[in-house]
Structure 1
Amino acid sequence: MNISNNNYSNIFDLPNELLFIIIKKLNIGDVIYSLVDVNERFVHLLFDPFYIQNLNITLMTMKSFCHRTFSIHEQVLSNICENILPNIHDQVKQLAIEQHSIERILTYNYSQLYSLSLVNFKEEILFQYLTDYSVLRDLLSQQITHLNIDIETDEIPKLLSKISLDIFTMILSLCQRLIKLNFCQTKLPQLKYFSLASFDMIQNFDDYIIPLLRRMINLEESRLFLAVVRVDSTVIDGTEVYDQVLVHMSQMSKFVFSINNGVFFENNEIDVPSNEDIQNSFIGREYGPVGSYVKTF
C-alpha cells in the first residue's frame, strides 16, 4: 500500500528543506549510520557539505552532571570509519571525538579541519596522546584554531590537577594557530531550573559552586540557600553575584537567594564593608528587593 496516496503522510512526503531541518536536530553519527542506505535522496541530504562539515561522533548519556557516559555502538562506529569517512573526510571542518575512537577517526586526512573537540578523555590518556600521538600533535600545531577539551571526572571540577595543568601548558605550547580554547568547561544548555541548599559551611564556593553555575547558560529560575566561609577575601555582595554568575545567564527571570557569608580576616588591612555598602552593591543591577545584615567581631 502506498501510504503517501491516502490521508496519511510519511517522511518521504516532506520537502528536502524540512527533512534537512529535522536531520540537523539529530546526532549526526546515528543519522549517517541509519539513513545513508535508504535511498539516493537521503544520501544527497546527508552528504550536503553544510551538514557534514560539522561532524560530532560522540553520544552522551547524562544521569547527572558528574555521571556522564560517552559511547557510540561499535557497529555504528565501524560503519562510519570504514564506509563514511573515506568519502567525506576532506570536507569536515569541525570534529568532535571520544577517547576510545580517536585513533580510528584520525586515520584520515582532514584538510579543512579547524575545530576539534576531545570529549570525556581521562587526564593520563589525553596527556599521553598529546605527548606521543603524532597525528594529533600535527593537527594541533598546523591546523586547529578552535579547541575544546573535556576531561572525564567523577566529581564537580574544582581547581585543575597537576596533570591537567601540564596538559593546558602543553596545548598552549603546541597549538601555534589557536584562537579559541575551552578547557574542561562542559556546559549544561538544557537546564532551565536549578535549586541548591546547604546548611553546612562551604569553603570551596569559588572552586565548586561558581564554575557549576556558569555552565547553566540557559537557566531561567534558580534558588540558592548557602552558607559560605572565606578567609582574607571579599564579602559576597551584589556586584560579585552579578559579575560572577548572573551576567552569564541571559535567560534568567527569577533568582531567589540567601547567602550567609562568614569571612575571617587574618589580615587587618582588609576593609570590612558596611551594611550600606552591601545594599548599594545591588543597586542598578536588575535585582528586586534585597536585605542584608553585617556583623563584625
Structure 2
Amino acid sequence: MERILRSTNYPNLYGLGLYNIPNETALRLFNDETCFIHTFKNQISSLVINIINSGNKCLTEKMDTLVFTHIFIVFTNLQYLNFHPFSIYFPRLSFDISSPIVFCSTLLELYVNVECFTDCLYLLDGRFNQLQTLHVNITRLVSSHSTINNKEKLHNLRYFSLFCDILTVGYDELILPLLQRMSNLEQLDLHIVAIHDDKFIDGNDLKKNIINNIPQLNKFEFNIHSNVSLDNQNDLLSNEDIRKTFKDFKDSLVISRSDFFPSINEGQCHIYSYPYKISHYNNITNNFPGGLFKYVYQVSLYDERPFEHEFFIQIEKSFPFMKKLKVDNKEPQSNKQCYESRNNNRNLSNIKYPHLTNLYLDYSHDDYAEQFLLDFKMSLPNNVYLHINYESLQRVTHDFTRDTTRINCSKLAHLHM
C-alpha cells in the first residue's frame, strides 16, 4: 500500500479505502506525522477504513477510538467516513472522559459502530455541526447521566439510521427525545428491540411520537420488536387491531404480528416496513405472515406452540438464502406421524435448505431433531454444523442405528453437543 501511494503524485485522488489494517498499523498511519498518508491530508474527502482487532475488546475499543479521532486531525477536508463497514457487532467506539476531543466542520456523512447511547450523543453534540447523514449501530441503549448536550435541535441532519439488536428499556427516555431534535429529518431507519411498560409500539405510537414531530420526514423504514409483561394487562391489541393502526401509512407496506407467551408471562409485537432489508429475522412464531426475505441469512424460531412440518415448508419458501437457523421450542409436534419406511412417506414434502451451514437445536424438543435428521422430511446440504444435546441425538437416532437418519447425519461437518 505504501509503495503504491508513494510511487507517484495523485493530484485527483479524493477517496481512499483501507481494509484489513491491524490496530497498531492504523494508529501509526494517522498518529505519525512523517507517515506517507499525511501527504494526502488536504485531498481526501472520502475515507473507508476496516481495522483488524487485537482480540482484546477493551484494548481494541481504545485504539479504534484513538484512530477515529486522529482521522479528523489528518484529513482536514473529510466529508464522508465509513468506520468499520463490515463489522455490525464489533469493534465499537467508546468515547469516555479520557478520549481525545475531536471536531470537524466539513463532515457530511458518517457510518459508525459505538458501544452505548452516550457515544451516539457524543457524535451529535455539535462537534460535527454540518453532519447530514448518520448511520449508527449501538450495542447498549441504556440510560446515561452524561453531561453531553442532548437538547439542541439538529437542523442539518437529513438522514438518520439507528440499529440496536439488544433489548432496551430506553425507547421513551432515550430514543424519542433524540429523534424529536431532528426537526428537518427527511429519512429515518429505526431498528430496535424494546421493553414497553404498558402497550405495544404500533402505528399510533409511531405517528404520535415520531412522524408528527418530524414534518419533513418522507421516508420511514423500521423494524421494531416491543415486549410487554402480561401482568395486569387487559387491553393489549390483537393482530388485527395493530394492523389497523397502520392504515394511514400509504407510502410503505407495513407487516405486523403479535404473540402472547403465558409460560414466560410476556407479550411480543413485531412491526416492520416491507421489503425487509436486514440480514437476520429473530423470534419467528406460528403467526409468521410469510413473504420473501432474500437478504436474510440468519433466522431464529421461538414459540410455545409446536412447529409442524408445514411451518418449516413456509420457512423454506420465505428464506431461500438462509445459512443459520436456531429452533427454540420445547413443545412436541401435534401432527407428527410415525413412518416406518420410505414407501409410507411419498405424500410428505421433502424440505431443502440449500445454503444452511449452522443448525441450533440445543433448546428444542426431540421432534425437531427428527424434523431435520429424518431424510424423508428434510434433505440437509453438505457440511452442516449441528448444535444439539447428546441425549436428544441419541434418542432420535435410536442409539445411532436408525437408517432414516444416516444420510443427513453423514452430511454433518461439525457436531457440538
Q: TM-score, normalised by structure 1?
A: 0.49
**Which gives a bigger RCO, structure 1 or 2 (Cα 8 Å, sep 6+)?**
1
| Structure with the bigger percentage of helix | 1
